Structure 1
Amino acid sequence: MTGQSFDWMGRRIPFRTGESLAAALEAAGILTFGPDTLGQETRYFCGIGACQCCLLRVDGVVREACITPARAGMQVEALERRHD
């Protein structure tokens, strides 16, 4: 580990240089990424950006977690907040 991290919903997530957001989240034990705009759970699935199952909001912009390289200081969150 290089000591780098990004913020996931208020939690610091460490990552290795070159690792995607999805890989870093999975390594941290986060297997679902919250609901999409239709209320369906988002998650890491195809790993190549084709399925759009891992959409997240990264520094305010919607991105595919599986093809977005992790960078120190990123603010990463679910597309939608849960309304439980």
Structure 2
Amino acid sequence: MTTQTILWRGHPLAFTLGDTVAMALTRAGIDQYGTRLTGLDAALFCGIGQCQNCLVAIKGQGVAEACLTLCEPDLAVSPVREAPHD
């Protein structure tokens, strides 16, 4: 069985069929998805898309909630805004 991956900032991260982007990032130990316009960290919070705290950029699709976006092989994901300390 071949491992399926998404790309986070160009680096491959494994995912399991049915995982959301947030789940794949969490499983990889990534809990900060960039910076929001307020200057606070973008990260998983509610897990249902209501708070939009986990917004990420999906190549070819635009901005989406990481907690609602299902992983697909080679899906390219990056922060909407990079954190100053990144």
Partner of 2:45: 45
CA RMSD of aligned residues (A): 1.6
Partner of 1:67: 68
Q: Residues 23, 2 of structure 1: CA spacing in aligned structure 2 closer, same or farther, 3 A cutoff? A: farther
Unaligned runs of 5+ in 2: none
Partner of 2:77: 76
TM-score (norm 1): 0.90
Partner of 1:15: 15
Q: Deviations over 1:46-79 (max 9, x none)?
A: 1110010100001150000001001111110001
Q: Does residue 1:24 correspond to 2:24, yes or no?
A: yes
One-letter identity of the residue aligned with 2:80: L
Aligned length: 84
Unaligned runs of 5+ in 1: none
TM-score (norm 2): 0.88
Higher strand proportion: 1
Runs of 4+ in 1 over 6 A off after TM superposition: none
SS at match of 1:34: coil
1:82: how far off? 3.6
**Percentage of matched positions with identical amino acids:** 37
